[in-house]
Amino acid sequence: MELRPATKEEFDAFSVAALRAFHRVYTEHDRERYEKIDEPARSLAWFDDDGSIVATTGAFTRRMAVPGGTVPCAAVTAVAVVPTHRRRGLLTSMMRRQLDDVRERGDLIAALVASEGAIYGRFGYGIGSRAARLRARRPAARLAKPQAPGGELRAGPAGEHVGAMRAIHERVWPHRPGMLDRPGAWWDDRLEDPESRRDGAQPLQAAVVDDGYVLYAVRPEWSDDGATGEVRIRELVTAAPAARTQLWGFLIDQDLTTAITWEPAPVDEPLWLMIGDPRAVQVSVGDALWLRLVDVEGALRARTYASDPGVVIDVTDAFCAWNAGRYRLADGCCERTDAAPDLALDVTDLAVAYLGGTTLRSLWEAGRVEEHTAGAVARASAAFRGDVEPWSPDRF
């Protein structure tokens, strides 16, 4: 068997194998979609001795926002092993080779959306962000205060508002940890809306104001009691509170609907604070982006901190040995050191805390961080914490 990148000419065979592992059939629509964003040089595939592809993975070249900045990120995708070739170590060898490649390319972190929660921890990935499934009931969900006068709201088919949405997204994404840039064809991919995937909803729509936009679709439904339609949000992005209020006012004022749903929504979405009946909003939370620090020193240096951590952290990394060691975080600097550690943790747990969502104190209380110096957990936890929850609307 051979492990190597799949060429452009092997794109169809690669895609068939990847989707087969997810019990999906490769369609012409899939081909048209993935060809726009494909990066063959960043793919890896196991070829069986008959030349067939039996395992796949790939990555997209993106940038991710982290507290205080943005970093190069490998957006890992298409991780799959066909059913006939599982439990043979193919996945482990692909992850090993891929992380070596990611490091050589200079990406500080890798990120993925996990199909199963038990797979990626052994490769150093941890849950870097969580996301919510939000459901608001109409008519109970009403804004508690009248909307302040805002800019003009434009609404219509999503494709008619790409320029305005792109400009707003460019303003927002670098300041929300977890969000990704959208170069090249990534806006086309985000607006991808085949009828076969709508589950009864109408075509994708957009509503845009000066400082925000929402992508949504309405699923009409009727019962013996009347209209029971649903407004489904794909993403809502704003640069100012007034824009958020204006867009929510538009969404919850849609006639012939009884619910507004949004997944993945930010965990800290403030809708429940904006309406008169907080119980009209229900939220459930799960994992979203899984993060891998490929270059620990570079990643720690690239982000800012809420306060001076003033600690030495001992990091273990069984899968990427180059990361193992002690790092001094103090005075806005990160450097390797031989000094005695104040904290010790695995690279997986450092990834969980890196974007500022889950605190180091929570990891310590879960038994995943060792404290060697009294007060070090509290000091480092406060420093790593962000003022917003990490979130990404993108899937890849």
CA dist 350 and 328 (Å) reads 14
* Catalytic member of 120, 123, 213, 384: 120
Q: 2-107 with 131-285: one CATH topology?
A: yes
For position 396, what pLDDT does the model report? 93
The strand pair at 222-223 and 226-227 is best described as antiparallel
Could you list the beta-strand ranges (E) of 67-115: 69-81, 109-113
What token pair was written down for 137? 């009931």
With beta carbons less than 8 A apart as the criterion, state whether 330 and 307 touch: no
**For domain 131-285, which architecture applies?**
3-Layer(aba) Sandwich (3.40)
Quick check: bond before 264 cis, omega within 30? yes
Q: Which residues, given as ranges, of the chain have pLDDT below 50? A: none
* Catalytic member of 34, 47, 125, 396: 396
For position 148, what pLDDT does the model report? 74
For position 225, what pLDDT does the model report? 87
| Active-site annotation holds for 22 | no
Domain ranges of the chain: 2-107, 131-285, 305-384
Q: Which of left, alpha, beta for 99 (phi over 0: left; psi -120 to 50: alpha)?
A: alpha
With beta carbons less than 8 A apart as the criterion, state whether 316 and 351 touch: no
Quick check: bond before 83 cis, omega within 30? no
What token pair was written down for 127? 């849950």
For position 149, what pLDDT does the model report? 67
CA dist 84 and 42 (Å) reads 24
Query: Degrees (nearest 5) of the Cα angle 171, 175, 179?
Result: 90
What is this structure's pTM?
Answer: 0.95
CA distance to 265, 302, 322, 329, 363, per residue, from 65 (Å):
17, 10, 24, 20, 22
| Active-site annotation holds for 125 | no
What token pair was written down for 111? 């990120």
CA gyration radius, the chain:
23
Give the DSSP letter string of 314-347: EEE-SS-GGG-EEEEEETTEEEEE-SPPSEEEEH
- Round the average pLDDT of the chain to a whole number and report it: 96
- CATH number of the 2-107 domain: 3.40.630.30
Is the domain spanning 305-384 CATH 3.30.1050.10? The answer is yes
